[in-house]
């Protein structure tokens, strides 16, 4: 009897433990997790920093427009992706004429990052106007600046404000010295031509955190961007480029320019500027007898490949010094580039290295080249 009572008690306790354990370990049903909803303002075609980087070229392709939708004075002027134009979303309707006429042009909008709706709003507006290839770089300017080797571009208004306020910065003119800097430059700027960067880099400050701002001949000129990248490679951490450069500076009301104390040599040939060829005469030669001159394009190979004079040979300015000794003397030589900066520098190199070559010229003008070999030449005013 005692044994039976003990056995019954054991069974009861075992059942109680099983029931209790089962109740204790029964999980509660988790509350469903709500997926984060996409904001209504989010555009449907998003691109990343790698996509933007492949389309940022100097000069910018006519088939692409990079647009900063942030406010101009408080954001764009202080720093923007190089080659971007400013069309604040708040000013979209007033500035719609700045958009390209070709509705198939690639438009890339950006603003202040993932929480910024401005670029998305502008993209929707552009698409509504009929633009067929609109993208939004959603991570925007902060993402651009985090990428290794990237630097911001600043506006002429920002540069003027720094100069007026005696800001602690070093402003560097990357254009050829005799041809451009000596004849006029932004006040306080020092001359370190990109072609002479390695020889003159000792002029840069020892403090690698010092603000460096490079500029050259405008949006078609790559010299300042090349120098900026070289400075970054040297370890400078606060590098900027004034992409619109000296032409934009001259357009700002009340901004004086400086000239070097030593004037360039006076030796006028066919054009208004020393060593330049008259543009009308040059175009007539191209039309009637292009083989009568040796036309040398001193732009970089990628610029040359994107469009050039049909009879021009490409010798990039970085390689020209080594080639000058082999230039022929049996026909006139004409150097060309996009703005007259590098071609003018080439002219002076020949004067220094081979003064016996007398028929050497360059084109002092802004030239836009198209893929089909057509071109547009605009003489300086």
Kindly state whether residues 225 and 165 are assigned to the same domain.
yes
CATH number of the domain where residue 327 is located = 3.40.250.10
Per-residue pLDDT at 3? 42
Q: Is position 38 within any domain?
A: no
Kindly state whether residues 126 and 160 are assigned to the same domain.
no
pLDDT tens-digit map of 187-242: 999 999 999 999 999 999 999 999 999 999 999 999 999 999 999 999 999 999 99
Kindly state whether residues 285 and 355 are assigned to the same domain.
yes
Banded model confidence at residue 271, pLDDT cuts 50, 70, 90? confident
Angle among Cα 42, 43, 47 to the nearest 5 degrees reads 110
**Does residue 354 carry a pLDDT above 50?**
yes
Per-residue pLDDT at 81? 98
Q: Is position 267 within any domain?
A: no
Q: Is position 54 within any domain?
A: yes
Sign of CA dihedral 330, 336, 340, 346: negative
Classify 290 as helix, strand or coil. Answer: helix
Number of domain units in the chain: 3
pLDDT tens-digit map of 44-99: 999 999 999 999 999 999 999 999 999 999 999 999 999 999 999 999 999 999 99
Banded model confidence at residue 17, pLDDT cuts 50, 70, 90? very low
Q: Is position 19 within any domain?
A: no
Last residue of a domain, one of 200, 233, 251: 251
Full domain range(s) for residue 103: 46-146
Kindly state whether residues 68 and 126 are assigned to the same domain.
yes
Per-residue pLDDT at 196? 94
Kindly state whether residues 118 and 164 are assigned to the same domain.
no
Nearest Cα to Cα of residue 99 among 89, 90, 87, 91: 87
Q: Is position 211 within any domain?
A: yes
Residues in a beta bridge with 108 = 66, 135
pLDDT tens-digit map of 116-150: 999 999 999 999 999 999 999 999 999 999 999 99
Per-residue pLDDT at 256? 64
Q: Is position 233 within any domain?
A: yes
Kindly state whether residues 330 and 372 are assigned to the same domain.
yes
* Angstrom distances, CA of residue 26 to CA of 16, 17, 19, 32: 16, 14, 11, 18
- HSE value, Cβ hemisphere, 13 Å, CA-based, for 228: 26
**Does residue 257 carry a pLDDT above 90?**
no
Last residue of a domain, one of 118, 146, 174: 146
Q: What does DSSP assign to residue 233?
A: H
Banded model confidence at residue 36, pLDDT cuts 50, 70, 90? low
Per-residue pLDDT at 77? 97
pLDDT tens-digit map of 355-375: 998 889 999 999 999 988 889
> To 10 degrees, the CA torsion angle through 300, 302, 305, 309?
-30
Kindly state whether residues 164 and 137 are assigned to the same domain.
no
Task: Select the more confidently predicted residue: 38 or 66.
Answer: 66
On whether the CB atoms of residues 317 and 340 are closer than 8 A, the answer is no
- Percent of the chain whose pLDDT exceeds 90: 70
pLDDT tens-digit map of 234-247: 999 999 999 999 99
Kindly state whether residues 197 and 124 are assigned to the same domain.
no
What average pLDDT does this structure show over 337-360?
92
Q: Is position 348 within any domain?
A: yes
How far the first Cα of the chain sits from its last, in Å, is: 123
Kindly state whether residues 94 and 177 are assigned to the same domain.
no
**Does residue 2 carry a pLDDT above 70?**
no
> What number of residues does the chain have?
381
Last residue of a domain, one of 146, 181, 204: 146
Q: Is position 347 within any domain?
A: yes
Kindly state whether residues 288 and 374 are assigned to the same domain.
yes
- Structure token pair of residue 16: 């109680």
Sign of CA dihedral 52, 55, 60, 66: negative
Sign of CA dihedral 285, 287, 290, 292: negative
Q: What is the pTM of this model?
A: 0.77
**Does residue 5 carry a pLDDT above 50?**
no
**Does residue 260 carry a pLDDT above 80?**
no
Kindly state whether residues 214 and 243 are assigned to the same domain.
yes
**Does residue 269 carry a pLDDT above 60?**
no
Classify 307 as helix, strand or coil. Answer: coil
Per-residue pLDDT at 262? 41
Task: Select the more confidently predicted residue: 63 or 40.
Answer: 63
What average pLDDT does this structure show over 172-185?
93
| Whole-number average pLDDT of the chain | 87
């Amino acid at each position: 009897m005692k044994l039976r009572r003990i056995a019954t008690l054991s069974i009861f306790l075992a059942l109680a433990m099983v029931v209790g354990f089962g109740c204790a370990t029964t999980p509660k049903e988790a509350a469903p997790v709500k997926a984060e909803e996409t904001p209504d303002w989010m555009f449907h075609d998003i691109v990343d920093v790698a996509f933007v980087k492949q389309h940022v070229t100097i000069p910018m392709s006519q088939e692409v427009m990079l647009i900063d939708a942030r406010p101009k004075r408080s954001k764009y002027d202080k720093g923007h992706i190089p080659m971007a134009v400013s069309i604040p979303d708040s000013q979209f309707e007033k500035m719609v004429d700045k958009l390209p006429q070709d509705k198939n042009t690639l438009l890339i909008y950006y603003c202040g990052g993932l929480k910024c709706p401005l670029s998305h709003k502008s993209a929707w507006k552009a698409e509504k106007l009929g633009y067929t290839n609109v993208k939004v770089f959603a991570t925007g300017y902060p993402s651009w600046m985090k990428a290794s080797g990237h630097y911001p571009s600043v506006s002429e208004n920002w540069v003027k404000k720094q100069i007026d306020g005696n800001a602690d910065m070093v402003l560097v003119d990357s254009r050829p010295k005799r041809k451009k800097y000596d004849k006029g430059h932004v006040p306080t700027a020092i001359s370190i031509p990109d072609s002479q960067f390695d020889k003159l880099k000792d002029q840069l400050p020892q403090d690698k955190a010092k603000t460096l701002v490079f500029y050259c001949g405008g949006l078609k000129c790559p010299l300042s961007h090349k120098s900026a990248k070289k400075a970054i490679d040297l370890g400078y951490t606060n590098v900027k480029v004034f992409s619109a450069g000296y032409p934009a500076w001259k357009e700002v009301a009340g901004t004086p320019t400086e000239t070097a104390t030593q004037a360039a040599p006076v030796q006028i040939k066919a054009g208004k500027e020393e060593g330049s060829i008259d543009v009308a005469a040059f175009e007539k030669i191209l039309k009637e007898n292009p083989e009568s001159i040796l036309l040398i394009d001193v732009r970089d190979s990628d610029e040359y490949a994107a469009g050039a004079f049909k009879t021009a040979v490409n010798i990039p300015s970085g390689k020209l010094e080594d080639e000058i000794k082999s230039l022929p003397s049996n026909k006139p030589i004409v150097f060309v580039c996009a703005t007259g900066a590098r071609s003018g520098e080439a002219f002076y190199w020949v004067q220094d290295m081979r003064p016996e070559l007398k028929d050497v010229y360059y084109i002092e003008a802004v030239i836009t080249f198209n893929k089909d070999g057509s071109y547009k030449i605009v003489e300086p005013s």
